[in-house]
Chain A
Amino acid sequence: MMASSYSAKDEDGHITVSGPGGGTLRNKKPENTAFKQQRLPAWQPILTAGTVLPAFFIIGLIFIPIGIGLYVTSNNIKEFEIDYTGDDTSSPCYNCAKNFSWNNTKSCTCTIPFQLDQPYESNVFMYYGLSNFYQNHRRYVKSRDDSQLNGNIDSLKVGASSPMASRKKKKPSKECEPYASIDNKPIAPCGAIANSMFNDTLKLFYNDPNGTSVPIPLTSTGIAWWTDKHVKFRNPVGTNSNLTAVFQGTVKPVNWHRPVYELDTDPENNGFINEDFIVWMRTAALPTFRKLYRIIQKKNNMAPTLPRGNYTLVVDYNYPVRSFEGRKRMILSTISWMGGKNPFLGIAYITVGSVCFFLGVVLLVIHHKYGNRNNSANISN
């Protein structure tokens, strides 16, 4: 910022100064306000032994009990995890995984037996987990059209045939490319996220000690965020309420077996508001993640939701992960006030609390031994 050393004001300014006879000598004394004189009342905290050391002890005393509480809570949560990727020859899903091809219309089924050593009380949550799956990749995360998913009918229209029409008729957002349209027909739902939706079907059977295999009822609703289900995702509302008609003129994503309006028979869980779909669309932050699949509701009687014993997991193996060295897991977990099993948080709290307490002790010792308590004597010029 260059400044010109001359300004006409300067030439002028001096006249008023030098000419005492000007008569208009304004008093230029600055105002005596606390703000202008930098005398605003102010709180001036100082770090002293009296404030810092208790702070350390207090942090320690707060963190350690919380940590212990968290650790105990976490330890009380029961969790069972089974890997069914099938990259091992001994794995029941080995054949399904090996023979997978995108063109398969008939799904491959594999059965995995497992055993629960402890009974699972209250509601049990069933998750599927994927590893080495980069749902957080930039190109993946942005490859969606929230406007389409929110039921915007324009995003389902056929792509513009004439440049004039393109202004009015919106296509699926270009963020969805290359999963936006096929043969000028929009894909519903468009984008890479939707295209790669997890489509294994997991079923759970309890092997009664008497030999019968009892299917366990799995609830597929209530697994998505309320705002996702009711605000973010909405089926397009066409002239009629029939979803098939509304999605007329669109094509299904290439990897899907069924179009979006056939995801479920329940109209409240079909189309864009299908909860499996919503859960998938909420992308994970890390390449190893789990997503809620089903809830096993606690029955009314006193019996545990999942008694200890033998179970069978039946998988309709549709979802290939071996190509990118991914892994698939099924997780069963109970839950507490703080969510699922999470030993890290408790341990971290105990550690930080202990370190604080320890630091407090060390600083106290240092302060007493070497500390500069008699400060006032130290001022010299």
Chain B
Amino acid sequence: TFCSYYFIHLICFSIRVRANDREYNEKFQYASNCIMTSKYNIITFLPVNLFEQFQEVANTYFLFLLILQLIPQISSLSWFTTIVPLALVLSITAVKDATDDYFRHKSDNQVNNRQSQVLIRGSLQNEKWMNVRVGDIIKLENNQFVAADLLLLSSTEPHGLCYIETAELDGETNMKVRQSVSVTSELGDPNNLASFDGEVVCEPPNNKLDRFSGTLYWREKKYSLTNQNMLLRGCVLRNTEACYGLVIFAGPDTKLMQNSGRTKFKRTSIDRLMNTLVLWIFGFLVCMGMILAVGNAGWEKEVGSLFQSYLAWDTPVNNFLFSAFLSFWSYVIILNTVVPISLYVSVEVIRLGHSYFINWDQQMFCSQCNTAAEARTTTLNEELGQVEYIFSDKTGTLTQNIMTFNKCSINGQSYGKDTHNTCACSRDRMLDFSLFNPLADPDFCFYDDKLLESVKVGDSCTHEFFRLLSLCHTVMSEEKSEGELVYKAQSPDEGALVTAARNFGFVFRSRTPGTITTTEMGRTVTYSLLAILDFNNIRKRMSVIVRNPEGRIRLYCKGADTVLLERLHPCNQEVMSITSDHLNEYAADGLRTLALAYRDLSEDEWEAWSESHRFADKATDCREDRLAAAYEEVEQNMMLLGATAIEDKLQEGVPETIAVLSLANIKIWVLTGDKQETAVNIGYSCKMLTDDMTEVFIISGHTVQSVRQELRSEGMQGWREPCFNGNGFKEGQEGGDTAGGKFALVINGHSLAHALEADMEAEFVSTACACKAVICCRVTPLQKAQVVELIKKRKKAVTLAIGDGANDISMIKSAHIGVGISGQEGIQAVLASDYSFSQFRFLQRLLLVHGRWSYLRMCRFLCYFFYKNFAFTMVHFWFGFFCGFSAQTVYDQYFITLFNIVYTSLPVLAMGIFDQDVPDHRSLEYPKLYEPGQLNLLFNKREFFICIAQGIYTSVVLFFVPYAVLSNATQSNGVPLADYQTFAVTTATALVIVVSVQIVLDTGFWTVFNHVFVWGSLGSYFIIMFALHSQTLFRIFPNQFHFVGSAQSTLLQPVVWLTIALATAICIVPVLAFRFLKLDLKPQLSDTVRKHTKTQQGRLGARGGSRRSGYAFAHQEGFGELITSGKNMRLSSLALASFASRHSSSWIDTLHTQTVHTVCFSGENTKTVI
């Protein structure tokens, strides 16, 4: 039933595409290949953009206020006081959106106008990508991007094979093979293809990159199609001269576009806090409105009703309750400036500025790869200053994924010198191979001339050692011109070994499915390749069986020491023990080791084994096991040649960065897919694990019980507790810190699966976060994300995930902050990340400098912003008690309009963008400076209430000081000063001066911009006020500018200035005293550092020795088979004509039979349904 359901599904919800038949396909109205990532065009921009913007609650709220203001009985402010800031905010956002969209249009155009060759009426014509239709057959050439999701029809390579690189799609850099359905692969040339009229029925567009199911109907036959037949948009054709494909999905239907869903929008904790606070402020606003409305009711009842002979109620108002109701709304309008509309825009502007500073930072620029750091999202900057947990990938992030052949042990003799200190890696001590060997790779470094001597002398063991390295591998070579060899290795380890052999005179030149050609000490030798005993994770070794020109058959084997040493001939005992010591030594140096061995086979032995191997290979059931048994049979009684040691090079500055970050109290967890040994090894070499650690716990249980047992083991008791106080207000962390410093935890993927279960989760977290270092190895991408989610949930801490590969995407997306390393592994991680740069060590600068500054600036900005607006707005509240709760404003309307957007916006923006408490190098010198961010000390609810309290205090002073002074004062010509306009100007001026003085106090880093903005804003206040109170404007609009002459009349009075000075002093003096006391009695580290100008240097030591290592052989199974089959041999690279006919290899057969299987199977089912 499942099958029938599946096929009903397939038929009902499937698409049909007929090749070379545009009319037919047009009936279905498939998407064209034109992609459109832009959101607007010229006509739709305004309505769509406005619609989007009004979906933001804040904007709608202000629109609501605007509508309220249009009701004359409510309107306490002119309409423009809201519409001017609203329009400004909307237009800034609109301009930003328009610019973004313009660039999207541009890039869309560029992509849509790429050329591709389309087969139209039997001839190839150049068409733009956007004109390619579903059902078209297009030709792709080598290194071209695939224009749409194609069904591979034929290729220039044999068997309709072609190679693609899918880095754009899934981030994997290794090449993948695609094969066309056999019937179509014969349609080699355009003429045949033009007459191809097959019809494809397949599943509708979806976003599954690794799945495709469909059926090709052609000449009354059905052929099943799988993902193996598809070329997806975004891939690049490699190593294939050309191929033809049928467009199945185009444009937005392609898997690439289907995958580009909207990403989850990340918010910072400050954002969330801000939203909560804004809600509280709304609540506060409503409360104040209620208080004043009640006041209004009382006043209208007691006083207003009696005052009616002078001041009648407005027409619809007939009782005091209605009046109170209206007054509530009037006050909501007036007091709305406690949450100014400019808050969100200002925050965005500041973050944008910080993002640019990240992009512009030269010290995060990597000159080797010409990549600057990039803030891909502009909304998370301040969160960078609060990170507590870093989850790091290993390969490509901590390490360069570059392997170097570092040491070797040949026949009991160890070669190679310590090259730990990269500075010691000077050119003069490096061996020069060029004289000895013209084919040497100039980039290869080795520092022990004894080995070269040994090669030159002709030591047979040494020769055999390198011969093995040059023969036993699955590397492909490409020789563009004579002597210019390029190796394409499956894993970097292998490449390093083959390159080493090459430099020591055993040059691997080329291979065919049956031969390997090498140049041994200048002499070209061709071995016939009899068998490749491929690598897999269980065998942990690979072997080749070759026949040398003299006819002798020999098996060469390389593999993990643990498995290889067991399979040696007993006569090796002595060499084995010495080599074993060497292996331990290498492992202790953090090197990846391999043991090498050979075995001579007689012709009879070979024949016998070959027979059993063939038999096993042909077996239909348990083929794998039989093959393994066959391999096992021959890999016995081997002679030990020696061992190699490969260094997995760390990225530059990794140990130093980790040291600095852990000093900043950031916990670093390494989550890697690698093996435990490798991971631990890297842990040591990057100083996460140190020898002075009390204990390194290794949890590798396979069952729930054993994992629980291990988690609860003796040593872990007792010190687990101190870490159980989450983020927020953490008390003295010192104790927990030192306790945790002694332990480390290493956990395996399968144990982690149990540890992540609901009932063990808490235990795991409490154990893990008490450890200084946590390493999770053998974890899947999903587990990486789960670990991040766990910490997010349990610890309420800010997490950062850093990685470079496609397997890190889930982790990068689920962490608060995702950082992508733009390295060799494609750009998928970068695309999913929030920040990207090319070196792990830039992380310290990103967090400790940029993050810290961003956090500091944002906090200072928010504190000041809330303070300023409360000081500004609450004056109306106090005035309410003196004006009959009538919602009369204290200030001129223009002042209310301009206060937030002109008079006070720029100084605080300048502070939010440029402020620095300590210079950048200091924050790296004193990583403890990072702690206030983690503890959320600079802006939290407590700080918010302090700001609010200060704002309210200021508003009290600003209202009651002028009230007390002016109520009885007169001008020097006897005219009283207590008129409304004088009062308004006095209060407004005092307010502007007080908040300016406050920003002067708050700004710690006075750049030229701060000066210009602070003094400019103050100046602009006076200039604009005099302009608005001028006679000229009044003469033009007498009904709009009531305040004519108020500015000069008021500001000429000494009493007014004395009042302003008094108010300023009363506002600022307590702040000054409080700050001084705090600084003097309880200085923060940043204050101390700021004062302390002496430099401190030389802090981190160089890296030292390390511990036990293991075997790491990042290899994939199946390549050996591919090589012997000859299917991946480029025709152009080798004269393979002779081999082209005899390629009945098992691999291709398996592939065929599998395909046939599915065709038959699905065919039957289709019949039953139809």
A residues lining the B interface (CB < 8 Å): 1-15, 17-18, 25, 27-32, 36-38, 40-49, 52-53, 55-56, 59, 63, 66, 70, 102, 123, 125, 127, 132-141, 143, 145-147, 149-150, 152, 173, 177-178, 192, 195-196, 222-228, 231-232, 255, 282-292, 295, 320, 323-325, 333, 335-342, 344-345, 348-349, 352, 355-356, 359, 363, 366-367, 370-372, 375-376, 378-381
Interface string of B250-273 (1 = CB under 8 A from A): 000000110111110100000000
A141 to B315, CA, bound (A): 17
User: Within 8 Å CB of B963, what residues of A?
Assistant: 286
Known: A3-B377, A36-B360, A45-B1004. A348 touches B1062 (CB 8 A): yes
Interface residue tally on B, bucketed by range:
35 or more
Known: A29-B362, A352-B1065, A381-B928. A227 touches B1079 (CB 8 A): no
CB-contacts of B296-321 with A (<8 A): 303, 306-307, 309-312, 314-315
CB-contacts of B1074-1124 with A (<8 A): 1075-1077, 1079-1081, 1083, 1085, 1087-1092, 1094, 1096
Decide if B610 is an interface residue (CB 8 Å cutoff).
Answer: no
Is the CB–CB distance between A44 and B1004 below 8 Å? yes
Least Cβ–Cβ distance between B904 and chain A, in angstroms: 20
Known: A134-B884, A137-B311, A292-B976. A5 touches B365 (CB 8 A): no
Q: Can you pick out 19 interface pairs between chain A and chain B where the beta carbons lie within 8 Å of each other?
A: A1-B265, A3-B263, A8-B35, A17-B827, A18-B167, A30-B360, A138-B886, A139-B311, A149-B1038, A150-B1035, A287-B884, A288-B967, A289-B976, A340-B969, A342-B965, A344-B964, A348-B1062, A371-B1081, A378-B1083
Least Cβ–Cβ distance between A9 and chain B, in angstroms: 4
Least Cβ–Cβ distance between A175 and chain B, in angstroms: 8
Given contacts A11-B256, A285-B966, A352-B1062, 11 further A-B contacts (CB under 8 A): A7-B104, A38-B916, A44-B1006, A123-B974, A227-B1045, A231-B1044, A339-B1053, A344-B965, A363-B1076, A363-B1077, A367-B1080
Which chain B residue has the least Cβ–Cβ distance from A145? B1039
Interface string of B1042-1076 (1 = CB under 8 A from A): 10110011000111001100100110010011011
Decide if B189 is an interface residue (CB 8 Å cutoff).
Answer: no
Q: Which of B473-481, B721-729, B977-985 contacts A (4 or more CB under 8 A)?
A: B977-985
Minimum-distance CB pairs A-B, first 6: A6-B260, A227-B1045, A285-B983, A36-B360, A9-B107, A138-B886
Decide if B111 is an interface residue (CB 8 Å cutoff).
Answer: yes
User: Within 8 Å CB of A366, what residues of B?
Assistant: 1077, 1080-1081
Considering residues A44, A289, A290, which has the most beta carbons from chain B within 10 angstroms of its beta carbon?
A44
User: Within 8 Å CB of B928, what residues of A?
Assistant: 380-381
Decide if B330 is an interface residue (CB 8 Å cutoff).
Answer: yes
Q: Which of B367-375, B666-674, B894-902 contacts A (4 or more CB under 8 A)?
A: B367-375
Is the CB–CB distance between A140 and B311 below 8 Å? yes
Which chain A residue has the least Cβ–Cβ distance from B850? A38
Is the CB–CB distance between A224 and B975 below 8 Å? yes
Is the CB–CB distance between A285 and B982 below 8 Å? yes
Is the CB–CB distance between B1090 and A192 below 8 Å? no
Least Cβ–Cβ distance between A31 and chain B, in angstroms: 7
User: Within 8 Å CB of B1092, what residues of A?
Assistant: 375-376, 379
Is the CB–CB distance between B974 and A14 below 8 Å? no
Which chain A residue has the least Cβ–Cβ distance from B36? A8
Interface string of B160-179 (1 = CB under 8 A from A): 00000001100000000000
Decide if B1008 is an interface residue (CB 8 Å cutoff).
Answer: yes
User: Within 8 Å CB of B1091, what residues of A?
Assistant: 46, 48, 375-376
Is the CB–CB distance between A29 and B1080 below 8 Å? no
Decide if B434 is an interface residue (CB 8 Å cutoff).
Answer: no
Is the CB–CB distance between A286 and B882 below 8 Å? yes
Considering residues A15, A225, A228, which has the most beta carbons from chain B within 10 angstroms of its beta carbon?
A225
Decide if B700 is an interface residue (CB 8 Å cutoff).
Answer: no
Decide if B883 is an interface residue (CB 8 Å cutoff).
Answer: yes
A30 to B365, CA, bound (A): 8
Considering residues A53, A289, A344, which has the most beta carbons from chain B within 10 angstroms of its beta carbon?
A344
User: Within 8 Å CB of A44, what residues of B?
Assistant: 916, 1004-1006, 1090
A177 to B72, CA, bound (A): 12
A149 to B1042, CA, bound (A): 11
Choose one: B110, B312, B975, B1090; the contact of A12 (CB below 8 Å): B110
Is the CB–CB distance between A7 and B107 below 8 Å? yes
Is the CB–CB distance between A42 and B979 below 8 Å? no
Is the CB–CB distance between A376 and B1094 below 8 Å? yes
Which chain B residue has the least Cβ–Cβ distance from A337? B972
Known: A12-B110, A47-B1079, A349-B1062. A5 touches B972 (CB 8 A): no
Is the CB–CB distance between B371 and A28 below 8 Å? yes
User: Within 8 Å CB of B981, what residues of A?
Assistant: 282
User: Within 8 Å CB of B1008, what residues of A?
Assistant: 40-41
Which chain B residue has the least Cβ–Cβ distance from A295? B974
Least Cβ–Cβ distance between B345 and chain A, in angstroms: 12
Which chain A residue has the least Cβ–Cβ distance from B72? A174
Is the CB–CB distance between A323 and B888 below 8 Å? no
User: Within 8 Å CB of B377, what residues of A?
Assistant: 3
User: Within 8 Å CB of B386, what residues of A?
Assistant: none
Which chain B residue has the least Cβ–Cβ distance from A344? B964
User: Within 8 Å CB of A1, what residues of B?
Assistant: 265, 379
A230 to B323, CA, bound (A): 38
Known: A138-B886, A352-B1066. A6 touches B309 (CB 8 A): no
A283 to B734, CA, bound (A): 64
B residues lining the A interface (CB < 8 Å): 35, 37, 76, 103-104, 107-108, 110-111, 145, 167-168, 234, 256-257, 259-263, 265, 303, 306-307, 309-312, 314-315, 330, 357, 359-362, 365, 367, 370-372, 377, 379, 663, 822, 826-827, 831-832, 853, 882-884, 886-888, 914, 916, 920, 926-928, 961, 963-984, 1004-1010, 1031, 1034-1035, 1038-1039, 1042, 1044-1045, 1048-1049, 1053-1055, 1058-1059, 1062, 1065-1066, 1069, 1072-1073, 1075-1077, 1079-1081, 1083, 1085, 1087-1092, 1094, 1096
User: Within 8 Å CB of A141, what residues of B?
Assistant: 888, 980
Which chain A residue has the least Cβ–Cβ distance from B312? A178
A140 to B304, CA, bound (A): 12
Choose one: A125, A150, A178; the contact of B1038 (CB below 8 Å): A150
Least Cβ–Cβ distance between B829 and chain A, in angstroms: 12
A378 to B1088, CA, bound (A): 8
User: Within 8 Å CB of B973, what residues of A?
Assistant: 222, 335
User: Within 8 Å CB of B1055, what residues of A?
Assistant: 338-339, 342, 345
Choose one: B145, B315, B1054; the contact of A177 (CB below 8 Å): B315
Is the CB–CB distance between A43 and B1069 below 8 Å? no
User: Within 8 Å CB of A145, what residues of B?
Assistant: 1039
Is the CB–CB distance between B965 and A70 below 8 Å? no
Is the CB–CB distance between B365 and A28 below 8 Å? yes
A338 to B1057, CA, bound (A): 11
User: Within 8 Å CB of A333, what residues of B?
Assistant: 970, 974
A255 to B310, CA, bound (A): 9
A41 to B1011, CA, bound (A): 12
A317 to B110, CA, bound (A): 87
User: Within 8 Å CB of A52, what residues of B?
Assistant: 1072-1073, 1076
A287 to B1059, CA, bound (A): 20
Is the CB–CB distance between B1006 and A284 below 8 Å? no
User: Within 8 Å CB of A356, what residues of B?
Assistant: 1065, 1069
Which chain B residue has the least Cβ–Cβ distance from A7? B37
Choose one: A14, A152, A224, A370; the contact of B1081 (CB below 8 Å): A370
User: Within 8 Å CB of A324, what residues of B?
Assistant: 303, 306-307, 309-310
A11 to B309, CA, bound (A): 76
User: Within 8 Å CB of A48, what residues of B?
Assistant: 1079, 1091
User: Within 8 Å CB of A43, what residues of B?
Assistant: 1006
Is the CB–CB distance between B1042 and A6 below 8 Å? no
Is the CB–CB distance between B1080 and A3 below 8 Å? no
User: Within 8 Å CB of A25, what residues of B?
Assistant: 370
Considering residues B307, B371, B826, B963, which has the most beta carbons from chain A within 10 angstroms of its beta carbon?
B307
User: Within 8 Å CB of B330, what residues of A?
Assistant: 138
Is the CB–CB distance between B1058 and A70 below 8 Å? yes
